Amino acid sequence: MRVAVATAVLLVLAGSALARAATLQQVGVFTQPMYVTSAPNDPDRLFVAERGGKVKQVQGGVVSTFADISEKFSCCTGERGLQSIAMAPDFAASGRFYLFYNGTEGELHIAEMRASGGSAPISSLRDLLEIPHPEKSNHNGGQLQFGPEGNLFISTGDGGGSNDPFHHAQSVDSLLGKILRIHPEPASLLGYTVPAGNPYADLPEPFDTIWNIGLRNPYRFSFDREKGALLIADVGQDEREEINYAPPGGAPKANYGWACREGLLIGPNAAQPECMEGQTFVDPIFDYPHDDPGAGSSRCAVVGGYVVRDPNLPELVGRYLYGDYCGGNVRSFHPADPVATDRSEGLDAPFITSFGEDACGRIYVAQEAGRVSRLTGSGPIVCPKAAPRARSFIGIKAQNGRVKRRMRAQITAYVSPCAGRRGEPVKLFRGRKHLGTRHLDRACSVRFRPRITRKATFRATIGEDANYEAATSRKLQIKILRAKKAHRRS
């Protein structure tokens, strides 16, 4: 009887192990790969960012250089280099993508490039945001991700050193130790626009870009592609590595506590003034120590991954994947109960630099030695189709259809449906000439005041986003108001 029970237990354990039997399938070898992603709506076109400044393209098994910015910085002191990339939601039409890299003085650059003819020339590089980071060569942060609403999120480290010596993380007068949120369309003299809803919008630029504070080195973060939740893996110091969670819709103004706290422990700066002024800190949903016998090895730096939504990995669907640079294996937990569900996936991946996700939701692992692999499992190899974008409408009207020569007209454009579109850019054209860009207000309308020198025809456009198709307004004609002739008196 005991033998039968023991055999049954072994069979259950074996079945459980088989249910978790994901494997790593190599897709290529690169030079210090830092991040991997795909073109939106084209999962078979992969892009790998290499630390030295090159972006490699993998398509049909062929590897080619897609972009090279190596002349723009000196690689790679400390943790500096090309950190990550993000392809614009409308990449197929615009060719736009974004890069996070360190400049020659260590400063953080968020920049845009545009592809042309299958590659992106260095001449297309345009800075959106530059953040001073001169003190130390570590704690750069380094992640770019487009959020569900189409804005670009950016993670920055606290500037390096021990105990946040420059007190960046808790200060809203610094962009370091933060999650930032921008819209990558120029506004006025800036290379970007501050989206509606940013919690520090009343601060002077560039501090109005801040979304969250109190982070040490949020090297990797991601959005759950199905539910929209934000998970931030923040590299710890001496005691704990932590993973933070923000529900769908985000947690604007959340303070994750560094250096007042480290994980769930009291932090090294707990006695400093910025930690003793009635601050409310958001607890991580999961933290772990560096020395953990149950993990099988010593760990040193968390590397955040993704909530799995790949049907080929049924044993992992809904679980958050993560790793550790020193730990050497891939682990996962369910965000609803991280401590109870945390487990090793039995995948050996030493010196992980990043996880990645393609347009199908397939998961990749990049390792410092050069290997990039895809997680494969027992489920069907299918690519879930994205929900079709809803149609949108953009209207255009003028306060007056006739104005005096050289006077300004008042043109209003308005977009419907409005839900989820506030803060998005609308462009005004006169003929084929782009006159300017404005961003939708709370009523999803914008106003332009072009100077009229002759009869002209205008139209307004709004680009596609994750939920809506692009739209172009009807043509609007404005004419010159003729001056009345004065009657001569005899």
Which of the residue ranges 15-24, 75-84, 288-297, 356-365 would you say has the lowest mean pLDDT?
A: 15-24
| Dist. CA 45–CA 39, nearest whole Å | 6
Residue 350 has pLDDT above 80, yes or no: yes
- Mapping DSSP onto H, E and C, the string for 130-180 reads EECCCCCCCCCCCCEEECCCCCEEEEECCCCCCCCCCCCCCCCCCCCCEEE
Instruction: Report the pLDDT value the prediction gives residue 384, as an integer from 0 to 100.
Output: 66
The DSSP output letter for 449 is -
297-298/291-292 β-pairing: antiparallel
| Dist. CA 51–CA 178, nearest whole Å | 22
> What are the structure tokens assigned to 97, written together?
């993508």
Over range 394-422, report the average pLDDT.
92
Instruction: Report the pLDDT value the prediction gives residue 387, as an integer from 0 to 100.
Output: 66
Task: Name the pLDDT band for 485 (thresholds 50, 70, 90).
Answer: low
| Dist. CA 169–CA 167, nearest whole Å | 6
Instruction: Report the pLDDT value the prediction gives residue 282, as an integer from 0 to 100.
Output: 97
Instruction: Report the pLDDT value the prediction gives residue 386, as an integer from 0 to 100.
Output: 61
Q: What percent of the chain has pLDDT over 70?
A: 92
Task: Name the pLDDT band for 186 (thresholds 50, 70, 90).
Answer: confident
Instruction: Report the pLDDT value the prediction gives residue 12, as an integer from 0 to 100.
Output: 39
Which of the residue ranges 71-75, 103-107, 220-224, 388-392 would you say has the lowest mean pLDDT?
A: 388-392
Q: Model confidence over 251-271: pLDDT tens digits?
A: 999 999 999 999 999 999 999
Task: Name the pLDDT band for 8 (thresholds 50, 70, 90).
Answer: very low
Question: Which architecture, in CATH terms, is 23-376?
Answer: 6 Propeller (2.120)
Q: Model confidence over 204-256: pLDDT tens digits?
A: 999 999 999 999 999 999 999 999 999 999 999 999 999 999 999 889 999 99
What kind and span of H or E run contains 396? strand 393-398
| Dist. CA 198–CA 439, nearest whole Å | 14
Instruction: Report the pLDDT value the prediction gives residue 348, as an integer from 0 to 100.
Output: 92
| Dist. CA 79–CA 102, nearest whole Å | 9
Domain boundaries, the chain: 23-376, 393-480
Q: Calculate the average pLDDT of the chain.
A: 90
Q: Strand (E) positions, 208-272?
A: 210-212, 220-223, 230-234, 240-246, 261-262, 265-266
Instruction: Report the pLDDT value the prediction gives residue 383, as an integer from 0 to 100.
Output: 82
Residue 4 has pLDDT above 90, yes or no: no
Nearest to 465 by CA among 236, 174, 197, 152: 152
Contact at 8 Å (CB) between 24 and 53? no
Instruction: Report the pLDDT value the prediction gives residue 488, as an integer from 0 to 100.
Output: 54
Residue 444 has pLDDT above 60, yes or no: yes
Q: Model confidence over 367-394: pLDDT tens digits?
A: 999 999 999 999 888 886 666 778 889 9
Instruction: Report the pLDDT value the prediction gives residue 487, as an integer from 0 to 100.
Output: 54
Class of domain 393-480: mainly beta
* pTM for this predicted structure: 0.82
Q: Model confidence over 269-318: pLDDT tens digits?
A: 999 999 987 789 999 999 999 987 666 568 999 999 999 999 999 999 99
